[in-house]
Structure 1
Amino acid sequence: MATEIRVPTLGESVTEATIAQWFKKPGDAINVDEPIVELETDKVTVEVPAPVSGTLQEILVKEGDTVEVGALLGQISEGAGGAKTAPAAKAEAAPAASAKSAETVDVVVPSAGESVTEAEVGEWMVKVGDMVKADDILVELETDKAAQEIPAPAAGKIVEIAVKTGTTVHPGELLCRIAAGEGAAAATAAPAKAPSAAKGDGGMPPAPSAAKMMAESGISAAQVEGTGKRGQVLKGDVMAAISGGATQQTSAPAPAVTVRAPSAPSDEVREERVRMTKLRQTIARRLKDAQNTAAMLTTYNEVDMGPVMELRKQYKDLFEKKHNVKLGFMGFFTKAVCHALKEIPAVNAEIDGTDIIYKNYCHVGVAVGTDKGLVVPVVRDADQMSIAEIEKKIAEFGRKARDGKLGLDEMQGGTFTISNGGVYGSLMSSPILNAPQSGILGMHKIQERPMVVNGQIVARPMMYLALSYDHRIVDGKEAVTFLVRVKESLEDIQRLVLDL
């Protein structure tokens, strides 16, 4: 009697999944509730357990295939599967040592989202022969939207690395193979080998530029405190260590290096060539496409930040105590933008061929700078949220961006973007549109300037605002009116409270 294995219900809004990995192959004995296959959706990863004990009779879909909820994945022949061991013919054909580690686990490129069809292989954290534990990070993949760490699905020994750093791969392609069994026991008993002797405390090897500078300076990774992701040593860390007094090691002689000594240092020696990440390539392409496609224009204004600053000063402690999040400026700006978008809907629209799509909702993107590049997570339905809810969501995005944990679904679907260059000290700039959106607001540094108020010259905390817009869909009058509405909401903060 055969029992069907089908895709389970994965959630109210999830209709399909990708086959990430089969844990069993046809002919394998399985026990009831033992994981058989791993499915990946755009929100979660799900293991499908065996509904009965028996033998896996048939696999109907391959790893990397996309299937709908309820689709047939395979079949189990019911019987004494749990007690069944490997077939005798296989046991005789392999030596005893091989029988312990006969199972080889393929690590493949996971599906990264509906709009992501390829990724670039980043730095490998392991090499062939290394022992790894389950969930140890093997390699980092870079897509055009984010970086994704690939963990080991099982403990064992790395027996093959199928692709090199810099290779472009697609979902379902083989990355490496792990021999489980004998290697699993060894990996559990002892930590995995470091792929390099110069790793930071967090297990990440130094960045190439940092490794080169350490070699030239004669200092070790132990003398440098890494500030990168998971303790990775960056070039700036090495420079800081050198300026802080780190000296060349004397415990062992430095390896002999043949160095040409020209009379004057050549430019080539002082240059550094690094591979552009997939994310950086995409940022460059999208920004240039926006310039080439949209009739982009920028209008400027300035806002007196005094009322907002006074409100923050008065209520920031009470606000943080009640909502467990700090009261920043982004909540006020996001609410002010939502008010203005409702009045000037063209700034919240986009062009699709010869059509204009007006969005009757406000999904506001908030630009966040990371060591990998610029990402823009989206606060969905910001117009329906309170300032406290907006601040919590932005704080959550900030933490995820720093840790590289932002999901692709969290960076899609924005209708308008806010970019805050003021956190870096920018006094004025012209932001570039985040296509296909028609508007982006640039915030800048708050600086006291002499202003005339009621006939008197007084120092006021002023901020320049910049609205870049697509002149194909937004007229100058609409753009100026939009920016004036943002200014009025912030200078008369009661307008936000009273929804005026």
Structure 2
Amino acid sequence: MATEITVPALGESVSEGTIGEWLKQPGDAVAVDEPIASLETDKVAVEVPSPVAGVLGEHRAAVGDTVEVGAVIATVEEGGAPAAKADAPKAEVPDAGVEKAAPAQAKEAVGSSASSAPEGGDGAQTLSPAVRRAVLEHGLDPSTIKGTGKDGRLTKEDVLAAASQKQDTAKTGSPAPAPAASPAPAAAAAPSASGERREERVKMTRMRQTIARRLKGAQEEAALLTTFNDCDMSAVIEAREKYKDLFAKKHDIKLGFMGFFAKAACLALKDVPAANAYIEGDEIVYHDYVDISVAVSAPNGLVVPVIRDAQAKGFAQIEKDIADFGKRAKDGTLTMEDMKGGTFTISNGGVFGSLMSTPIINPPQSAVLGLHRIEDRPVAVNGEVVIRPMMYLALSYDHRLIDGREAVTALKIIKEAIEDPTRMLIDL
């Protein structure tokens, strides 16, 4: 008997999604609650599980199709045996002339290798389009890369990390380890003899389309302005170094910088409530709580899960929330509820090496704090030039609601709290 698999509820006000990837193919055996497809919504990727055990029947939607909640996308034959699959043809080991392989042949070779690479020791490894493109671009063998995604699947970050390690090995002059499988992927990285230039046209994911639409809308709707300040990170670095071991032992989490900035932001938003408000029609909506959206990089784009009631949480809980968001963003398991709401955003471009930027607000919010990399710079202290670890801070805000004086004041409060963390303890 065939059981229909339908699109599950995707969250409040979300009525449809896009088939991003089929995780199971017709004839594959599936277990109860095993994901068979990945759906892309405006904010997150949602896995569709099988309600029964059996063998996957037909796909009733293709990758890229838009499907509504409740629509049937596949069937499962209960209790059936998985269809026998022919062994993948063994890739022929190329000779010394492999570097002259045509690009089309190289791409085909990578596709064969990727589809037959083992995952967890059994079964075929399924690569998402983004991962497959990264494998092709860097000439890597996916079977030699350890996946950190859900169920051991490869993520784009895994491929990029492997590519970086490969480059580092090449720079040191140490011989790179021989690939475990066919070296066909190396052909993909080799330039064609004719010097052919290629380009690829890829449809934007639903999430990327939403990000583009919202950010462009923010520029068109809001009167954006950014104010800057620099911050001496000496006190925070000293506090982290002094208490990191005790903090980790007691709370089972590392003490990071984001906890300090989240608490400093709470102080600033308490004194400058306009930075924690938003415009709705001809009214201003103020909040007596602080829900901080934290910008997190995910395989499909930037997501902003929310630390709720940050003003009432301690450093440990804030750090745990952030660590949990980061892990689940990488695994693709964040939910719509995780990103719902938010009254203020913190974006940390410093982890990628950014020195300075003008972040864009996350509508309907009216302000966003941008953090940047820490670097030693000469500064004047008490009439003397000293070297201090400095960070540029940026506060972008909607000038329709927040005056320049208020924005500068809010950023100054954050700066002072970071330079003297005791202020956060005595509410100054």
Q: Which residue of 2 aligns with 1:128?
A: 26
Residue in 2 aligned with 1:20?
A: none
Q: Distance in 1 between matches of 2:117 and 2:359?
A: 38
Aligned partner of residue 351 in structure 1, secondary structure:
strand
More helix by percentage: 2
What is the identity percentage for the equivalent residue pairs of Structure 1 and Structure 2? Answer: 50
SS at match of 2:116: coil
Tell me, yes or no, if structure 1 residue 319 matches structure 2 residue 237.
no
Q: Which residue of 2 aligns with 1:155?
A: 53
2:154 counterpart letter in structure 1: Q
TM-score, structure 2 length as denominator? Answer: 0.82
Stretches of 4+ moved more than 6 A in 1?
193-196, 212-219, 240-243, 247-251
1:106 alignment partner AA: E
Counterpart secondary structure, 1:457: strand
User: Offset at 1:179?
Assistant: 1.4
Q: Does the CA contact (< 8 Å) of 2:21 and 2:128 recur in 1?
A: no
CA drift at 1:484:
0.5
1:93-145, CA deviations, whole angstroms, 9 ceiling, x for partnerless residues? xxxxxxxxxx2211000011012121000111222233322233211111111
Counterparts in 2 of 1:346 and 1:176: CA distance versus 1, 3 Å: same
- The offset of 1:336, in angstroms, is 0.5
Looking at structure 2, the residues matched to 420 and 499 of structure 1 have their Cα atoms a distance apart, in angstroms, of 24
Structure with greater strand share of residues: 1
Tell me, yes or no, if the aligned pair for 1:218 and 1:247 is still in contact at 8 Å: no
Give 1:378's aligned residue. Answer: 306
Equivalent of residue 111 in structure 1, options 9, 13, 32: 9
Choose the corresponding residue for 1:205, options 92, 117, 126. Answer: 126
Alignment RMSD: 3.0
Amino acid at match of 2:57: V
Q: Quick one: higher RCO (CA 8 Å, sep 6+), 1 or 2? A: 2
- Higher-Rg structure is 1
Q: Is the 8 A contact 1:422 1:446 kept in 2?
A: yes
2: CA distance between counterparts of 1:209 and 1:392? 29
Q: What are the superposed Cα offsets for residues 368-405 of structure 1, whole Å, 9 maximum, x if unpaired?
A: 11111111111111111111221121122122212112
CA 1:396–1:237: 2 relative to 1, 3 Å: closer
Distance 1:396 1:263, change over 3 A: closer
- Check 1:390–1:228 CA distance in 2 against 1; reply closer, same or farther (3 A cut): closer
Alpha-carbon displacement from aligned partner over 1:395-433 (angstroms, at most 9, x marks no partner): 221222121121211111100000001111111000011
Measured in 2, the distance between the counterparts of 1:443 and 1:271 equals 35
SS of alignment partner, residue 418 of structure 2: helix
Q: Which residue of 2 aligns with 1:422?
A: 350
Q: Deviations over 1:218-269 (max 9, x none)?
A: 9864355556553327564785679746569779xx9xxxxxx9984343xx
Structure 2 gap ranges (5+)? 89-111, 171-175, 185-190
Can you give the 5+ residue segments of structure 1 that lack an aligned partner in the other structure? 1-102, 255-260
1:455 maps to what in 2? 383
Matched, 1:141 2:39: yes
Please state how far the C-alpha of 1:310 moved relative to its aligned partner: 0.9
Letter in 1 for 2:348: N
Quick one: structure 1 residues 320 and 294, their matched pair in 2 at CA, closer, same or farther if it must change by over 3 Å? Answer: same
Q: Could you tell me how far apart the structure 2 residues matched to 1:217 and 1:404 are?
A: 23
Amino acid at match of 1:205: T
Aligned to 2:153: 231
In 2, Cα distance between equivalents of 1:425 and 1:466 = 15
Q: Give the corresponding residue for 1:74.
A: none
For residues 361 and 173 of structure 1, what CA distance do their matches in structure 2 show?
A: 39
Q: CA deviation at 1:155?
A: 1.2
**Code of the aligned partner of 1:198:** S
Residue 287 (structure 1) aligns with: 215
The answer to whether 1:306 aligns with 2:227 is: no
Deviates more, 1:313-322 or 1:213-222: 213-222
